[in-house]
Amino acid sequence: MLRDRADEPRDALVLEEMTPESFERGCVERYRLRLSDLHPEPVWQRSISIRFLPCIGALARGRDGLWHPTAAGLLMFGKRRGDRAGISGLSAGISGD
């Protein structure tokens, strides 16, 4: 069990081989609008830009200093089903298998 313990949750894994363009923009926009309907206070929710996605854990800076999707972000907003399914070992950990 100790070997399975990580400093960060699996869904926070930064996928440095991917770019923010891996997200389906319409899906992100619908999520942002729904979230702002439920919780209208935070200013960062009004923008779909680089400000919003890191605040919800969908983007994080990689070792190269650029923004990249996190595993959670790709699972929620990935354009292609293959992107979402291709995160090695993550889906098994989330589903409890």
Residue 14 domain flag: no
Averaged pLDDT, 18-38: 88
Q: What is the pLDDT of residues 35-61, one digit of tens each?
A: 888 877 766 656 656 678 998 999 999
What gap in Å lies between CA 4 and CA 66, rounded to an integer? Answer: 28
Q: If pLDDT is split at 50, 70 and 90, which confidence band does 85 have? A: low
For residue 50, being part of any structural domain is answered with yes
Q: Please report whether residue 11 resides in a domain.
A: no
Range of the domain at 46: 26-86
pLDDT of residue 5: 53
Instruction: Give the separation between CA 12 and CA 91, rounded to whole angstroms.
Output: 13
**How high is the pLDDT of residue 39?**
76
Closest C-alpha to 91, from 20, 19, 83: 83
Determine the Cα–Cα distance for residues 75 and 5; give it in Å rounded to an integer. 21
Tell me if 44 sits within 8 A of 38, measured CB to CB.
Answer: no
Assess whether pLDDT exceeds 50 at residue 92: no
Q: How many domains does the structure of the chain reveal? A: 1
Quote the mean pLDDT of the chain. 77
Query: 3 has which bridge partners?
Result: none
